[in-house]
Structures are given as C-alpha cells and as structure tokens.
Amino acid sequence: MTTTLLDPTSELQPAIRQLNERLPSLAGATVGLLDISKPRGREFLDEVELQLTRLGASVRRYTKPTFTRVAPTELSQQISVECDAIIEGLAD
C-alpha cells in the first residue's frame, strides 16, 4: 500500500525568461544604477559610474526607498523605460 502526502510547497513552476540581447557596446548606451539604500552604497556606485562613463555610457542613478522591501513597481517601470541596461546591487 502506498502513502499519499499533500504537497506543502507553492507548487510554482518558475517561468523561464530569455535574457535580453547583449548590448553591442556601452558607447552611447544608457545604463541605470540602482542604489538599494544600504550604507556606503553611494560611494561604491560613484566608482561604478566613473568606470561606465569612461566606456562611453551615460549613467542614470536611481534609489530604492529601503533595502528591506522590493523596489516599487513605478520605479521598475521608470527604469525599464529610461535605460538600455540596469545594474542592481542585490545585497551586501
């Protein structure tokens, strides 16, 4: 006799998303930098901005209200409209 159990998980099947096509060059591209509001994040991103600018990218800076919560939908939408690429530091 077999035993039947009920699945305690969400039973979610993660969607498989295709990667965006890689940018041919950073020259002329707009790259977003998202500061997640962790201490000293700004200094770190200043350096990243400098490096990107040297490669010819123009950089836009964004800030999440708090690192403890996911970014507001409006912010994600704004970034997707204004940028060709985004760099987000997820955590420390």
Binding site for other proteins (CB under 8 A): 1-12, 37, 65-70, 91-92
Output the smallest distance, CB 92 to other proteins, in A. 7
Give the pairing of strands 58-63 and 30-35.
parallel
The residue among 2 and 18 lying less far from other proteins, judged by its C-beta, is 2
Q: Which of 32, 34, 36 is nearest to 92 (CA)?
A: 36
In angstroms, the CA 43 to CA 22 distance is 27
CB of 39 to other proteins, least distance (A): 10
Residue 63's DSSP bridge partners are 35
Nearer to other proteins, 3 or 20 (CB): 3
In angstroms, give the least distance from the CB of 91 to other proteins. 6
